Amino acid sequence: MGRITEALKKVTDERIERVKKRPKIQYVVKRIEGATIEEHVVAFHDPMSPVSEQYNILRTSIHQLKTTKNHKTFMLTSSIDSEGKTLTSINLAVAMARDINNKSVLLIDADMRKGKVAKYLGIPNHPGLSDFLLGKAEINEIVMNPGIDNLAVVTAGKTPRNPSELLNSRKMKDLLAAFRSQYDYILIDTPPVISLTDACILGPIVDAAILVVEAGRTQRDMAKNSEKNLIQAGVNVVGFVMTKIEHHLPGYLSKYMKQYDSYYAYHAYAN
């Protein structure tokens, strides 16, 4: 083994050990009692936290795309499974619904194989996207409010035998067209790009796509290939969201952020 290889192996081993020793981070400062929504939806439980602020920053970018390019339907996907695309979709939807401009937001779970939006939002069994596309439910039966103002949700529904074909149907195109006239923004959570064709099928009929990438897990080439596949399918990829990333902050900046976090927490929970 050469010196360069040994050095690289040493650095890799040290990094793995640091990752193993990292303490579990508690993102939620205060959980809303009695809520059925899971605590991972930080934008709901702790809207003034630094984590929620990152979703607010993403919300601002989407608002700008609406203003400059009139984009209102956004698809969120990832390269592989479990990169955080569903939680990103939900937290972003909540952040957008809670904007002071009172814009109406619709979140659609288009992952009809492993949809988890209903689970995270505490929604019981309810007709969803697959039920409508199969002709087993009407449009007014699949749209529901999870208890958050300005936010409507369409869950994935029962797992069908042919989810890709359903997404590629005329009925799906007509459904999105109908929703475009009813809501200011539409966010769609879709399956990963690498293993399934769903995102490449749905992508061309939305205004823009956002690719979710997990720090320290998703390989650079994998993310590039996912973007390439989407673009080749005619999808307008407008950006990336990196999840599970940790920044090292200088002492003075960390203190500054804590001061602002305390300020917001005080005003959020004082009453």
H/E element, 188: strand 185-189
Task: Please report the pLDDT score of residue 256 as a whole number.
Answer: 42
Does the pTM surpass 0.75? The reply is yes
Residue 26 one-letter amino acid = Q
How confident is the model over 251-269, as a mean pLDDT?
A: 40
CA–CA dist 151, 105 (Å, integer): 5
Q: Which pLDDT tens digit goes with each residue over 13-59?
A: 665 565 455 555 444 445 555 568 888 898 998 888 888 888 999 99
CA–CA dist 237, 44 (Å, integer): 27
How confident is the model over 80-92, as a mean pLDDT?
A: 91
Instruction: Please determine, for residue 98, whether its predicted confidence score (pLDDT) is greater than 80.
Output: yes
Domains and CATH numbers, the chain: 23-245 (3.40.50.300)
Q: Which pLDDT tens digit goes with each residue over 143-182?
A: 999 989 999 999 999 999 999 999 999 999 999 999 999 9
Instruction: Please determine, for residue 6, whether its predicted confidence score (pLDDT) is greater than 90.
Output: no
Instruction: Please determine, for residue 9, whether its predicted confidence score (pLDDT) is greater than 80.
Output: no
How confident is the model over 103-107, as a mean pLDDT?
A: 96
Task: Please report the pLDDT score of residue 271 as a whole number.
Answer: 29
CA–CA dist 167, 169 (Å, integer): 6
Task: Please report the pLDDT score of residue 32 as a whole number.
Answer: 57
Task: Please report the pLDDT score of residue 220 as a whole number.
Answer: 85
Average predicted confidence (pLDDT) for the chain? 83
User: Long-range CB contacts (< 8 A, 24+ apart) of 41-45?
Assistant: 41/87, 41/90, 41/91, 41/94, 41/120, 41/121, 42/91, 43/90, 43/91, 43/92, 43/94, 43/95, 43/98, 44/91, 44/94, 44/148
Task: Please report the pLDDT score of residue 261 as a whole number.
Answer: 42
Residue 4 one-letter amino acid = I
CA–CA dist 92, 246 (Å, integer): 19
Q: What backbone phi and psi angles, to 5 degrees, belong to 138?
A: -90, 165
- Tell me the β-bridge partners of 240: 211
